């Protein structure tokens, strides 16, 4: 799998939170936390040990908030 396909990007657009994976978006969500939770749920379903959920702010700064590899066994 291409490394760029291993990221779920959570971001805010037009006052609503969304996430995107492989060019497909999901949302809107009412809160950042709800969008992150939904992205993590989708990421876990991939069973890819290198998948990550990243939050991108309005200045395009990114923060990794979840990694499958960090998930407790």
Residue where the block lists tokens 């291409």: 2
pLDDT grade for 71, boundaries at 50, 70 and 90: low
Residue 72 pLDDT more than 70?
A: no
Instruction: Identify the sign of the CA torsion 21, 25, 26, 27.
Output: positive
> Whole-prediction pTM value?
0.86
CA distance 37 to 29: 10
Are residues 17 and 30 in contact, defined by beta-carbon separation less than 8 angstroms? Answer: yes
């Amino acid at each position: 799998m291409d490394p760029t396909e291993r990221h779920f990007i959570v971001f805010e657009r037009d006052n609503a939170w969304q996430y995107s994976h492989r060019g497909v978006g999901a949302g809107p969500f009412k809160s950042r936390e709800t969008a992150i939770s939904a992205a993590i749920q989708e990421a876990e379903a991939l069973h890819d040990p290198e998948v990550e959920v990243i939050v991108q702010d309005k200045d395009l700064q990114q923060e990794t908030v979840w990694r499958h590899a960090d998930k407790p066994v």
